[in-house]
Amino acid sequence: MSISAQTILIVDDEPANLAVLNATLVEEYKVRAANSGKHALEMALLKPLPDLILLDIVMPGMDGYTVLKRLKENPVTKDIPVIFFTAMDSEEAEYKGLQLGAIDYIAKPIRPLIMLARVKAQLTLKLAQNFLNDKNKFLELEVERRMEENQIIQNISIRALAHLAEIRDPETGEHIKRTQAYVEILAKQLQNHPHFSKVLTDNFISLLIRSAPLHDIGKVGIPDSILLKPGPLDNEEWKIMRTHAAMGAQAIELAEEDVSQPVAFLILAKEIAHWHHERWDGNGYPDCLVGNNIPISARFMALADVFDAITTKRVYKSAMSVDAAREVIIGGRNKHFDPDITDAFVETFEEFIYIAGQFKSTN
The confidence band for 284, taking pLDDT boundaries of 50, 70 and 90, is very high
Mean pLDDT, rounded, for 19-40: 89
What are the boundaries of each domain within the chain? 7-138, 169-358
Report the alpha-carbon distance of residue 123 to residue 115 in Å, rounded. 12
The answer to whether 28 and 72 are in contact (CB under 8 A) is no
Among 23-27, 45-49, 257-261, the least confident range: 257-261
Q: Which residue has the higher pLDDT, 78 or 106?
A: 78
Superfamily of domain 169-358: Hypothetical protein af1432 (1.10.3210.10)
- Which CATH architecture fits 7-138? 3-Layer(aba) Sandwich (3.40)
What pLDDT, on a 0 to 100 scale, did the predictor assign at position 291? 97
The confidence band for 353, taking pLDDT boundaries of 50, 70 and 90, is very high
Mean pLDDT, rounded, for 39-59: 89
What pLDDT, on a 0 to 100 scale, did the predictor assign at position 2? 46
Q: pLDDT for 160-210, tens place per residue?
A: 566 666 655 555 568 888 999 999 999 999 999 999 999 999 999 999 998
Report the alpha-carbon distance of residue 120 to residue 265 in Å, rounded. 53
Phi/psi of residue 73, nearest 5 degrees: -80, -20
Report the alpha-carbon distance of residue 36 to residue 59 in Å, rounded. 7
**Cα 85 versus chain centre, distance:** 46
Phi/psi of residue 297, nearest 5 degrees: -60, -45
